[in-house]
Amino acid sequence: MAMDTMDVERETMTQVSRTSEEDKIDISGTIDDMFKGLRRFWALNIVIVIACTGLYYLMQRMTWKPVYKAYSTFTVSAKNTMGYNAGTYNNQVASQLGNVFPYILNSDAMKQIVSSDLGVTSVPGDIQATVLEDTNLITISVTSSSKYDAYNILQSVLTNYPRLSEYVIGDVSLDPVDESGTPQSPMNPFSKQKTLAQGAVIGILAVILFLLIYALTRHTIRNEEDLKEILNVPVLSDAPHVRLKRQSHENTMMIDNRAVSSEFVEAIRTLRSRFETACQEKQAKKILITSSIPGEGKTTIICNLAYALTRRGFKVLLIDGDLRNPSVALTLGRKLKQNDAKGGLLAYLKGDIEAYDLIRRYHKLDVIAGNDSVDDTVELLNSSRMKTLIEQGGKAYDYVLIDTPPSAVVSDAAILLQYTDGYLYVVRQDYARTSQILEGIDLLSDSRVPAIGCIVNDVEQGVTGYGSYNNSYYSYGYKSRHYSSYDSQTEN
């Protein structure tokens, strides 16, 4: 029983620890998303701070009302001490007067007297009296929005108080000690610098709130764990947020470019190794690669994977199956050797050239690139020529890799999948929405062709470190008119 109790306690502690760790990950992810939002919407954030600062300043300036204060400090002396010690008696009188003065000063009788003196219907200010403890010193102060009203009210009170105080505390005299005169500046001066600073603080708080809402409402993939939670597909590798060295004269994001970071090269090697293992397990040779939406870097991944496989001694055919926006040739760059053919894959599918005229070389990699684009692809992709090309490639090569358009945008990938043995799915970190990823995967799952695995691309280490690498990102920018509502995205 004791052992059972210990096991239960140990399991409970493990669950608590695991829950605590998950909470930390969620908080870390939220903080990182906020910093990403700060970078992504930096211009908007600046506008928010400036707008809040300006509006707060304008509002405070329009509602600001000056308050002037006039005061008089005087000693209280009883005219008849009747044998008592004068100092002690005067202190007692001052104390009593201090207690009753507020009632006298704010009584209707006093207000009527002051109003009559000033020629107004009501007293345009506030009157207060304070007594310095253990002394016979009393200070009467008047605050008003007009410096002249403040001074005139004070003088009226000093002149008329004897008629009222005599009935309450007896015959006393007030001897002035200090007086402000007519106040020259308000007691609440408007501070431009302070107001602007307060407005800026409000703006910064508004930005923080905006970024928090942005982070909490994002439904994207941060890391491999997020991907595993929503997809029943193995994650083969992640590829880092990469940069090309400034001194590089090449613009290709290929692993044979010395300007590419070592982290990216190592990630491709890891992907190649796991890809080989997964293909052997599923006996797959003809592999399609796609993503959810444009801009996730699938073309860069497949070009590097294909080249890495040739460096391992495999015979590989890379086909640019994206007829809407062919980009393999652009990714491989000028090292892709030209051939004598007058067209690419599109020309072959239309029957203008034969398959043997399509092959171009990138080192030892055979490439069928596209050089023209077309909107209506369904008939071409469903054609016997497309099927024959992939099937013949599967017989002549160890691997046939096919680049396709995003599966959540158009149906091209789902059509081409019928000719393949499996597919790779690229998910860019913190990019496509979870719903788009699920939609893209669901469309491919209908074909019952197995998934070789997923790749998390463009992984960047955040402030709290939920990513794998920390490099500057390099991308191939293109703008395609063929992807409907996603035509403003960029493909890497």
Segment 311-334, tens digit of pLDDT? 999 999 999 999 999 999 989 988
Structure tokens given for 200 = 């800026």
Q: Are strands 422-428 and 451-459 parallel, antiparallel or unpaired?
A: parallel
Instruction: Quote the pLDDT of residue 40.
Output: 81
Average pLDDT, integer, range 243-255: 68
Token pair of 119 as six digits: 């020629």
pLDDT above 70 for 358: yes
Q: How far is CA 329 from CA 90, 314, 319, 326, in A?
A: 103, 21, 10, 8
Q: Provide the 3-class DSSP secondary structure of residue 422.
A: strand
Cα(479)–Cα(477) distance, rounded to whole angstroms?
Answer: 7
**Following DSSP, what letter does each residue of 361-387 receive, concatenated?**
EETTEEEE------S--HHHHTSHHHH
pLDDT top residue among 17 and 316: 316
Hey, what amino acid is at 308? A
Burial group, residue 5, by CB count within 10 angstroms (0-12, 13-18, 19+):
exposed
User: Domain 221-486 - what CATH class?
Assistant: alpha beta
Strand order in the sheet with 137-144: 126-131, 137-144, 68-78, 172-179
Rounded average pLDDT over 130-146: 81
Q: Does residue 257 register a pLDDT over 60? A: yes
CATH class for the region spanning 68-179: alpha beta
Percentage of the chain exceeding pLDDT 90: 31
CB atoms inside a 10 Å sphere around CB 426: 24
8-state DSSP, 71? E
- pLDDT category, 87, cuts 50, 70, 90? low
Tell me the C-alpha distance between 7 and 10, whole Å. Answer: 5
* CA atoms of 491 and 480, how far apart (whole Å): 9
Quick check: do 68-179 and 221-486 share a fold? no
d(CA 347, CA 373): 10
Measured at the CA of 16, the angle between CA 14 and CA 18, to 5 degrees, comes to 70
Q: Is residue 169 very low, low, confident or very high in pLDDT (cuts 50, 70, 90)? A: low
* Domain layout of the chain by residue ranges: 21-64+191-215, 68-179, 221-486
